[in-house]
Amino acid sequence: MKFKSYNSCIKYLFSLERVGIKYDLNNIRKLVALSDNPHKNFKSIHIAGTNGKGSVASMISSVLTESGFKTGLYTSPHVKDFRERIRINGKMIPKDYVISFTEKLYKEIEKIIPSFFEVTTAMAFKYFSDNDVEYAVIECGLGGRLDSTNILRPLVSVITSIAIDHTEFLGDTIEKITYEKAGIIKKGIPCVTGTLPENSQKQIYKICESRKSKFIRSDKNARIKTIEFYPSPVFDVKSKLFNLKGVSLPLTGNFQMRNLKTVFSVFDVLKEYSLPDLNEIYIRKGLNGILKNTGFDYRFKELRKNPLVIADVSHNTEGIKNIGGTLKNFKYRKLFVVFGMMSDKEFKKCINELEKLKGFMILTKPDYKRSADPSELLEAVKNKNNAVIRRNVKDAYAYAVSKSGKNDLILVTGSFFLLSDFLKIFKNKND
């Protein structure tokens, strides 16, 4: 198969979503076998969790890059370009590689009928191997135990957070979801946990015990003291092996302080078992250079002042709760929330959390087939006088701008697809 262009190749890859999510490891094993199991050719850090995976993965990757290592980063989903998912030292995978990989495996893809994510994972592993990546930071797509990335044997397994999400695949209780996330824990491989429900911590501790894996609980292992919050956090941190003062991070959000505890606990493991030369200089440069080194962005990001416009991707209940905690650090007169979500997400619970913010909601629909209809979103709103419907993101944002004043705040949040639509509009308005 020969594709006429990069766009036609991407269109084909996204057409694989029609087969749905294949929640097992059979297809990914077949795909990587076609490329001589490239995932065995680099060291990895494997990260699962309901929220915080992208932040934690990007911080670790940036520090490894500043430490002088050729570092791969695999995350999902993307905001603007598919190639954001697969990077080496911050640079996105070339379009030509995406095309050539897909063309070479086309016949086998048609035979195996894998999902979009399975093919993407195989592509990332092959790209990292072909380019002699030394360390790769790999984010799970869904769950952990049967996620396509779980063929790795990493240096450390990381579970950032656990909350109710993807119940159709992971189960409808915290205990069931914890079991799935903990599936990334390998025998004899250390496991770092973020700030989790107490029952989840105990459950993971028992699994680590049974697999003879060292258990590192980051909320006990590391302490963060925030010196300055806005516009960018400055903090002191103390973990088992590090004690740093006045570290800066160009990412806003109270939740990032929890993520930093996880990150420094991972640094402790890496320094103790794999990277004895990991030091304060690399860590400071890596955290400060996260945007340059990884392209990680749009987690509570300020885009404009007067009115203040903030873009954020929060597509589950825990993420929306995190927004509430961060907004307490801002002063504003009125809050306007542009919100859209996928129909297979728990949008009713998310809207319930949004209503607690006491803002006016503009409910809309991203240009994507799985998007929830705004009328469905409105049904979940208790105070119907505090919300309106707009059929697309462009109209929703225009409405927010028309109603907002100089000291107001416009928050654009929800799915990655909503943010993608919004950024196209926002960019055009600033040209």
258 band by pLDDT with thresholds 50, 70 and 90? very high
The pLDDT of residue 1 is 85
- Distances, alpha carbon 399 to alpha carbons 213, 341, 429, in Å: 53, 18, 14
The pLDDT of residue 233 is 85
CA atoms within 13 A on the CB side of 287: 27
The pLDDT of residue 17 is 85
Contact in structure between 257 and 226 (CB atoms under 8 Å): yes
For 280-311, write each residue's pLDDT tens digit.
999 999 999 999 999 888 778 889 988 999 99
Q: How far apart are CA 264 and CA 223, in angstroms?
A: 9
Whether the domain at 6-294 and the domain at 301-430 fall into the same CATH topology: no
Q: How far apart are CA 52 and CA 260, in angstroms?
A: 10
Q: Which two tokens stand for residue 374?
A: 């705004």
Average pLDDT over residues 407-416: 95
pTM: 0.91
For 15-68, write each residue's pLDDT tens digit.
998 765 667 899 999 999 999 999 999 999 999 998 999 999 999 999 999 999
The residue assigned the tokens 């078992």 is: 273
Closest CA to 304 of 229, 412, 421: 412
The domain defined by 301-430 carries CATH number 3.40.50.170: no
The pLDDT of residue 255 is 84
Closest CA to 262 of 418, 405, 58: 58
For 327-367, write each residue's pLDDT tens digit.
988 899 999 999 999 888 888 889 999 999 999 999 999 99
Asked if residue 105 has pLDDT above 60, the reply is: yes
Asked if residue 128 has pLDDT above 70, the reply is: yes
Q: Which two tokens stand for residue 92?
A: 């996105």
Asked if residue 119 has pLDDT above 50, the reply is: yes
The pLDDT of residue 34 is 96
Asked if residue 429 has pLDDT above 90, the reply is: no
Q: How far apart are CA 249 and CA 258, in angstroms?
A: 13
Q: How far apart are CA 147 and CA 48, in angstroms?
A: 10
Contact in structure between 326 and 253 (CB atoms under 8 Å): yes
According to CATH, what is the number of the domain 6-294?
3.40.1190.10
The residue assigned the tokens 């850090």 is: 45
- Neighbour count for residue 164 (Cβ, 10 Å): 18
The residue assigned the tokens 């009328």 is: 375
Domain range annotation of the chain: 6-294, 301-430
Dihedral angle of Cα 73, 76, 80, 86, to the nearest 10 degrees: 30
